Amino acid sequence: MTSKKIDIRKLSEAELIETLESMGEKKFRGKQVYEWLWAKRARSFDAMTNLSTGLREKLDEKFEIRSITIADKQISSDGTIKYAFKLHEGHVVEGVLIPTENRTTACISSQVGCSLACKFCATGRLKLMKNLEPYEIYDQVSEIYKDAEILKQKPLSNIVYMGMGEPLLNYKNVLSSTGHISADVGLGMSPKRITISTAGIAKMIKKLGDDEVKFNLALSLHAANDEKRNKIMPINESNSLDALADALKYFYAQTKTRVTFEYIIFKNFNDELEDAQELADFCRNIPCKVNIIEYNPIDDGEFQQADPEKVDAFAKYLEDRNIIVNIRRSRGKDIDAACGQLANKNEAVTKA
């Protein structure tokens, strides 16, 4: 039976204030409730202890707080934590806490499933079931934020939208979630600590430029050759490398933010120096850096991990051409929490 209560976190602060005033409350009460929802992360009206019992009862009659819950938590031998987050209506998405010596990163999802069907990604094998609401994205960060402080005894330092889904196909909700994460009445994290990763949707990259976003942008590139990229990323057929280059130039002109190119390196596919040369040529479009990512096998996957010697030679080729390069080693592979593995073996996700 569908609840007739209002999903309170869908209201803006102004709408919440107006609604409470229509209920006979003073303006500051709306501000208090908004602060409880976003800054103090209350998950029930009873938790809002500076409100009268009568007001809390009225709120409970009219509204509901649709929180996510942790359905499962797995801890890797390297300290990485993978979460299965259950949404209000029963769908499950995954998130990851990645602790390293210098940072603690939350990898979060923006959709249930994905429509892009990238060949190397387990999530791409799931159908797209829904876009996440801003608070469903925010709650993932909130839960991981708590564990970073409690379990790792470090504050959460970075957030990457690199979990399940394509963030730019949930544009409005993703931008709203970054607003809540960076707001003072929120988690108060700097937008420069947030990175949105896209498979490459040119018109939406340009829209990010128009909106002059303050967060970072990463492009999942994986090949700087249209023929190869078409084979592994069907989105490239409608968003060619030339189109992406134009969009990225526009984004940089509007934001002056350096872009990161994510490059998963596959054995005998995109690991030759010829591939490195094509990537170096693509890097000339805008100021950028390159993250070379170790491939993480998925069930029945057709790709294999590149030889370490090839990876090092690839990175050296780029570095010799004054391109900033980082080699990202896999973390959380033993619990299928590494890049590209989310939803690989999680029955709760695949059956949701």
The reported pLDDT for the residue numbered 101 is 86
The pLDDT of residue 120 is 83
Radius of gyration for the chain, computed over Cα atoms and rounded to the nearest angstrom: 21
Residues acting as catalytic residues: 94, 339
Of 20-24, 68-72, 75-79, 91-95, the one with minimum mean pLDDT is 75-79
Q: Where does the pLDDT of residue 351 fall: very low under 50, low under 70, confident under 90, or very high at 90 and above?
A: very low
Cα atoms in the Cβ-side hemisphere of radius 13 Å centred on 212? 1
Place of tokens 């499962």: 72
pLDDT value of residue 343? 54
- Answer yes or no: pTM beyond 0.75: yes
Going by pLDDT thresholds of 50, 70 and 90, the confidence category of residue 119 is confident
Give per-residue pLDDT as tens, 258-285: 999 999 999 999 999 999 999 999 999 9
For position 348, what pLDDT does the model report? Answer: 40
Asked whether residue 334 carries a pLDDT value surpassing 70, the answer given is no
- Say what the pLDDT of residue 350 is: 35
Q: Which three-class secondary structure string do you get for the chain?
A: CCCCCEEHHHCCHHHHHHHHHHCCCCHHHHHHHHHHHHCCCCCCHHHCCCCCHHHHHHHHHHEECCCCEEEEEEECCCCCEEEEEECCCCCEEEEEEEECCCCEEEECCCEECCCCCCCCCCHHHCCCCEECCHHHHHHHHHHHHHHHHHCCCCCCCEEEECCCCCHHHHHHHHHHHHHHHHCCCCCCCCHHHEEEEECCCHHHHHHHHHCCCCCEEEEECCCCCHHHHHHHCHHHHCCCHHHHHHHHHHHHHHHCCCEEEEEEEECCCCCCHHHHHHHHHHHCCCCEEEEEEECCCCCCCCCCECCHHHHHHHHHHHHCCCCEEEEECCCCHHHCCCCCCCCCCCHHHHCC
Delimit the domains of the chain by residue range: 6-64, 69-350
| Residue-level pLDDT at 216 | 98
Mean pLDDT along residues 174-188: 97
Which tokens hold the place of 87? 């949404």
**Higher local confidence (pLDDT), 183 or 3:** 183
Q: What average pLDDT does this structure show over 168-187?
A: 97
Q: What rounded mean pLDDT belongs to the chain?
A: 91
Average pLDDT over residues 4-8: 92
User: Per-residue pLDDT tens for 207-257?
Assistant: 999 999 999 999 999 999 999 999 999 999 999 999 999 999 999 999 999
> Which CATH code, of 3.30.1600.10, 3.30.460.10, 3.40.440.10, 1.10.150.530, is assigned to 6-64?
1.10.150.530
Please compute the mean of the pLDDT values over residues 85-109 and round it to a whole number: 93
| β-pair type (194-198, 259-265) | unpaired
Q: How far apart are CA 33 and CA 159, in angstroms?
A: 26
Q: Residue 349 has what pLDDT?
A: 39
Looking at per-residue confidence, does 204 or 3 come out higher?
Answer: 204
Q: What is the pLDDT of residue 333?
A: 55
pLDDT-based confidence at 346, cuts 50/70/90? Answer: very low
342 falls in which pLDDT band (50, 70, 90)? very low
Residue of 308, 229, 309, 244 whose CA lies nearest to 275: 229
How confident is the model at residue 299, as a pLDDT? 62
In this structure, of 113-117, 141-145, 256-260, 341-345, the range with the lowest mean pLDDT score is: 341-345
pLDDT at 298 exceeding the cut of 70: no
Neighbour tally for 129: CB within 10 Å:
18
Q: In this predicted model, which residue has the larger pLDDT, 330 or 348?
A: 330
* Predicted pLDDT of residue 188: 95
Would the pLDDT of 175 be above 80? yes
Confidence at residue 301, expressed as pLDDT on a 0 to 100 scale? 64
Domain 69-350: which topology? TIM Barrel (3.20.20)
pLDDT at residue 286 greater than cutoff 80: yes
- Tokens standing for 60? 């409970």
Q: Tokens 């957030």 map to which residue?
A: 159
